[in-house]
Amino acid sequence: MRYLVHGGLVNGIRQDLYLEHGRIRRMVACDPQAALPQSDSDADPSLAGSWEIIDARGMLVLPSLVNGHAHSAMTLLRGVAEDMELMPWLQQAIWPREARLTAEDVYWGTRLAALEMLATGTTVCADMYFFPEAQAEAARDSGMRFIISYPLIDGLDESKAEAQRDACERFFSSLPDCGPRSMFTIAGHSVYATAASSWRFLARMCRERGLLLHLHLAETESEDRFCRERTGMSPARYLDALGVLGPWAFAAHCLWLDAADWDLLADRGVTVVHNPASNMKLASGPAFDWEAARSRGIRVMLGTDGAASNNSLDLFSDLKLAGLLQKHHWRDPRRAPVQDLVQAVTSAGHDFFRTGAGRLEEGAAADLVLLDLRKASMTPCHDPLANAVYAGAGAAVDTVFCDGVPLVRHGRIEGAETVLAEARTRAEKLR
């Protein structure tokens, strides 16, 4: 199907976007006062054929959002453990419940996560969770782009670590079908939950197979202290000694880093993922040092983390928190300007995951979000990007395209009722 997205505000001017074969074929300036085209003959005559017309008048068109770090199926655990520190939260509330999860639970939890993310403008999610086969099925059925990580988390038990590595080798020898938009990669949980032998294995897999590596890094002070006492090194330097750090690595959190750690990440080409809502909710540490990353040329993405520690997957909400946290913590309203924040949640992730999207230009992949500027929260619109960052834009999402396909139309997602009903049933059993 081919689509004409008519009259939206694109890069500051009203334009028509012609979407074909998953890409932006053509962009044409248009008269915002003109009537909605009623037929192909009213559209650009040089583009023959049938085009379904999407009325985008009164809307801001942006590249879709990229969630750089999530545990999607944790939607089923939303709200089960509140007001707890990270390690008790994991050990007492989360891990015991996760031990009871089935593959079907993960499928429906991931479908629920996809509903929430799509409805708030996200089309790409880097996921780290159990049962990757179930995640693959959910990714395919949702229509979203998922980066599905096969995770190694062994609690530093070498016998478990060896078994998990063997299972990982088997998994990558015969990958399940995740659909044309998603991809597989690998993950190590953390320095306190993944053995050194597994980190070396993961580093080798990245080099030999060209895989990305998803990990948690320097999330809490206790993690930093544990690693220094056990290895004599910071978590970043320890992982680097194991060969883990490189341009294939994207590391979530990155709160407890000193200047030498930041220099190391920059030298190795590591991408970092800021998770403001989760970090603040679990009181994980100091504010993420965006300027330390920016000044060294380190790519920064944003992530929601899991719905049990956020508790939302609305990335527009986290975008606002990211900006406010930078300004508040360093008492400098100039930190994290609007343009940088939008880039972190759009083009930075699209570039890293090589979707071909992230920019509104001819030839780019058509992952788009249409924000209704007529909503009360978007009115007036003196600065469209400022509204997108700070004015609650998740609630203003009207239509979302992924790979040129409208997965959200005027706030509705096909099949949502079935997903919601099944997810509620499974969440109740886990409670």
Does one domain contain both 181 and 49?
Answer: no
pLDDT of residue 50: 86
pTM of the model: 0.96
Residue 273 has pLDDT above 90, yes or no: yes
When divided into structural domains, the chain yields a total of 2
Any domain includes 421: no
Rounded mean pLDDT, 323-349 = 97
- Among the listed ranges 82-96, 132-146, 362-376, which one has the minimum average pLDDT value? 82-96
Any domain includes 46: yes
Any domain includes 199: yes
Any domain includes 420: no
- Among the listed ranges 33-42, 176-185, 207-216, which one has the minimum average pLDDT value? 33-42
Of all residues in the chain, what percent carry a pLDDT higher than 70? Answer: 96
pLDDT of residue 168: 97
Does one domain contain both 213 and 157?
Answer: yes
Of all residues in the chain, what percent carry a pLDDT higher than 90? Answer: 91
Confidence category of residue 330, pLDDT binned at 50, 70, 90: very high
Any domain includes 414: no
**CATH number of the domain within which 113 lies:** 3.20.20.140
Does one domain contain both 39 and 156?
Answer: no
Rounded mean pLDDT, 361-377 = 97
Any domain includes 423: no
pLDDT of residue 162: 97
Confidence category of residue 257, pLDDT binned at 50, 70, 90: very high
pLDDT of residue 167: 97
pLDDT of residue 431: 78
Distance between CA atoms of residues 121 and 116, nearest Å: 9
Any domain includes 115: yes
pLDDT of residue 86: 83
Does one domain contain both 133 and 169?
Answer: yes
Does one domain contain both 120 and 27?
Answer: no
Residue 43 has pLDDT above 60, yes or no: no
Range of the structural domain that residue 227 is part of: 65-353
pLDDT of residue 38: 61
Does one domain contain both 179 and 47?
Answer: no
Greater confidence, 292 or 30? 292
Rounded mean pLDDT, 272-283 = 96
Does one domain contain both 74 and 126?
Answer: yes
Does one domain contain both 115 and 17?
Answer: no
Q: What is the mean pLDDT of the chain?
A: 95
Residue 49 has pLDDT above 90, yes or no: no
pLDDT of residue 225: 97
**CATH number of the domain within which 386 lies:** 2.30.40.10
Any domain includes 57: yes
pLDDT of residue 338: 97
pLDDT of residue 46: 59
Rounded mean pLDDT, 326-345 = 97
pLDDT, one tens digit per residue, over 375-391 is 999 999 999 999 999 99
pLDDT, one tens digit per residue, over 140-193 is 999 999 999 999 999 999 999 999 999 999 999 999 999 999 999 999 999 999
Does one domain contain both 390 and 400?
Answer: yes
pLDDT of residue 101: 94
Does one domain contain both 400 and 314?
Answer: no
pLDDT of residue 134: 98
Does one domain contain both 198 and 216?
Answer: yes
Examine the fold and report which residue of 353, 381, 399 is the final residue of a domain before the chain moves on.
353
Does one domain contain both 277 and 149?
Answer: yes
